[in-house]
Amino acid sequence: MTDFLNIVEPATGQHLWSGVISDVDSDVEIARQAWSEWASKPLTYRTEMMRRFANQVKAERDVLADLISRETGKPLWESRTEVEAVIERVEASIKSSGERTPNRRIEGALGLRQALRHKPHGTLAVISPYNMPALIPAGHIIPALIAGNSVVFKPSEMATAVGSKLTELFRAVGLPKSVLRLVVGGPEIGKKLAAHPMIDGLLFTGSARTGLALNIMYAANPGKILALEMGGNNPIVAWDTVDLRTAATLVVQSAFLSAGQRCSSARRLIVKSSMADALIDEVKILANRIIVDHPHADPAPYMGPVISNAAADELTGAFLDLMAKGGQVIRPMTRPDPDLPFLTPGIIDVTSVTDRSDTEYFGPLLQVSRADSFEDAMAQANDSRFGLSATLLGGSPSHYDQFWANIRAGVINWNRPTNDAAPTSPFGGLGLSGNHRPTSFYAADYCAYPVASAEIDTMRASIGIGLRADERDAPKLVLKGYF
């Protein structure tokens, strides 16, 4: 009996896509057999293939954006932004490959050359989440293919329609089917792929719990590359600014873009006590204006639903738990339709909550706390096992210098949202946020490994000390007067 994966639109509950559950062993074997031939292609051939892919995405940008919105619930304007980011990622990845993993040769004396080249790992698995179902996997697949790897790609079971379309776009420009394999299935399929003995590494974006399990699994096999990006409990520190409306806008952008379903979304607002009430009022006013609706609504919404009813239930439960622990509600999180996963932005003051959970609440839930000193604000910001992104709003240059030097995060911004990251910059974190394998512009680093070579056309060698005389050299020694 054939098993299928079925996907529904979170905004409507209607069926969107179905696919047959994959045979992981077969897909890995096909990709494994294909990678050496792909790696033997010239780099110019592989990069040109990626440029053709970018042109194919441009040609079908509206179709892809519509599918992203239907599958994730994101507003159409935001899905279009994601598609444009996929297109931009191609040139950024080509540039990254040239800068991060170059081939170099230094000529030395007597024809000796010192060479640096980079080799692909072989067959890499890519496991990606639902929140950015085109950009995140593309950010792994494109540099992996440029480097010469074959790829086995498993999208989230909640975003496989987009994953399937992305694979189709690669193949439409002539990429061999064997070089990029799509794996369809749920968590068990993902586990099987991650543990498969014939893959040479795993590029993973997802939850900290899964990432920790993968880290333990791969610890016993250092020959395989593992790149983890696992989200964050990201802080915004607001300090000494009179421009409260702009500060509030940056807070709302950080906390509620994508319905709070970005790993770089702000989860915590830490604000100077003397300005807290005024800033909180501005944030609340703006949050009250946010339109929450289906992706294609008119007027366009700022937020769509979260990914599923289960996710909505978990988030409303978390909000109620914070209330029960003494949190003061600033703006209640509500669920307009009990049958669909739409949520309104929830804001709660947790200053008096003593046992705050260091949890990544993956949705539109913002916790607010007050601080009397900048040192206290910094301590609160660093009171987390995560370390992905952090932002300082306001403050002086010396405040930012102190913030940058002491905050534990891989993305540190000043007067910009926590989720502002350029494709020409690395993106990654520390602690429970990652394992020092940043993606985006630094993705090339984990898609190939460096090889150092000393090379010369003619063999030359001698040992000048510590050897007994060689009888074969006796005639030469006589001539030189040694005998």
447 is catalytic: no
Distance CA(22)–CA(185), nearest Å, equals 7
Name the residue among 400, 392, 321 with its Cα closest to residue 361: 321
Calculate Rg over the CA atoms of the chain: 27
Sign of CA dihedral 41, 99, 408, 236: negative
Tokens of 230: 């696992």
The four Cα atoms 43, 49, 51, 57 give a dihedral, to 10 degrees, of: -150
- Please provide the DSSP assignment of 275-344 as one string: HHHHHHHHHHHHHHH--B--TT-SSPPSB---S-HHHHHHHHHHHHHHHHTTPEEEE----S-TTS----
Nearby residues of 397 by Cβ (< 8 Å), 6 or more positions away = none
Tokens of 149: 């790897």
Is residue 407 within 8 Å of residue 234, measured between CB atoms?
no
Catalytic-labelled residue, pool 263, 282, 360, 447: 263
263 is catalytic: yes
Catalytic-labelled residue, pool 229, 282, 360, 447: 229
Distance CA(163)–CA(156), nearest Å, equals 8
Q: Which residues are catalytic?
A: 229, 263
